[in-house]
């Protein structure tokens, strides 16, 4: 991965895009790359990681204190969030044009939580947000399919001039596999419990495919 021209180009593109996004709201000259193309290894994937840092401007009015100061900090965090989302790793570059293309190709169908953000914004102005990927989303199932719950897992890959469709598909499958396995491990014991209670065990839909011998919690 570290020697891959494609992976390095993708990472550098996102770094440049995020630096530009952050520069719109951070103090002039404060945005910098703290870590570039570092490799982090996890149980199922290796991740190329870069870290960009910047300083949000402090209000010049020294009279601001207490709740007003906290509100200013929160507003600055919200400005940063607005400037950076949707994330460049989800859109590509140039951001606005690729968003238009994606919307057309996806036929204007909402993505739901996938590629959005989950985290917290504290009253003291602290914020910790992410980009929602490789996440199982549980929703009520479709009655006509006999499902109590529907589980969807979002995963994807970056498409560039150097992309190979087979490699991108396999990468997407690999990224989603651990979450899918976790859902199946969770659903298996529930299936046994449902059968013991005399109920027919419904199935869980994972990535669009009905998995046999799995079930979900009964609808309350």
The domain spans of the chain are: 5-129, 136-211
Evaluate if residue 80 carries a pLDDT over 70: yes
Report the 10 Å Cβ neighbour count for 201: 19
Residue with tokens 């400005």: 79
pTM comes to 0.71
- The pLDDT-based confidence of 207 (bands split at 50, 70, 90) is very low
Average pLDDT rounded to a whole number, residues 174-195: 72
The alpha carbon dihedral of 151, 157, 158, 159 has a sign of: negative
The percentage of residues in the chain with a pLDDT greater than 70, rounded to a whole number, is 75
- Say if residue 126's pLDDT is above 90: no
For the chain, first and last CA: distance in Å? 47
Residue 204 has pLDDT above 50, yes or no: no
| List of residues 6+ apart from 121 with CB closer than 8 A | 74, 77, 78, 127, 129
Average pLDDT over residues 95-122: 88
Alpha-carbon distance of 127 to 84, in angstroms, equals 13
In angstroms, rounded to a whole number, what is the distance separating the alpha carbons of residues 73 and 65? 11
Query: With 50 as the cut, is the pLDDT of residue 210 above it?
Result: no
* pLDDT at residue 189 is higher than 60: no
The CA distance from 154 to 168, in Å, is 14
- What phi and psi, each to the nearest 5 degrees, are found at residue 154? -95, 135
């Amino acid at each position: 991965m570290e020697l891959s021209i494609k992976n390095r180009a993708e990472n550098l593109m996102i770094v440049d895009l995020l630096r530009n996004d952050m520069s719109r709201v951070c103090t002039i000259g404060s945005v910098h790359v703290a870590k570039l193309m570092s490799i982090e290894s996890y149980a199922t994937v290796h991740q190329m990681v870069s870290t960009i840092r910047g300083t949000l401007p402090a209000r010049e009015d020294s009279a601001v204190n207490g709740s007003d100061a906290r509100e200013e900090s929160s507003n600055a965090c919200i400005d940063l969030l607005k400037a950076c989302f949707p994330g460049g790793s989800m859109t590509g570059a140039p951001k606005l044009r690729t968003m238009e293309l994606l919307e057309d190709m996806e036929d204007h169908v909402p993505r739901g939580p996938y590629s959005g953000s989950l985290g917290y914004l504290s009253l003291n102005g602290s914020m910790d947000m992410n980009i929602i990927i490789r996440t199982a989303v549980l929703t009520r199932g479709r009655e006509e399919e006999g499902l109590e719950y529907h589980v969807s897992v979002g995963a994807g890959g970056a498409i560039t001039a150097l992309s190979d469709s087979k490699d991108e598909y396999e990468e997407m499958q690999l990224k989603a596999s651990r979450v899918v396995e976790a859902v199946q491990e969770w659903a298996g014991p529930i299936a046994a419990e449902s059968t013991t209670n005399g109920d027919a065990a419904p199935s869980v839909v994972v990535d669009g495919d009905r998995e046999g011998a799995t079930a979900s919690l009964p609808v309350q």
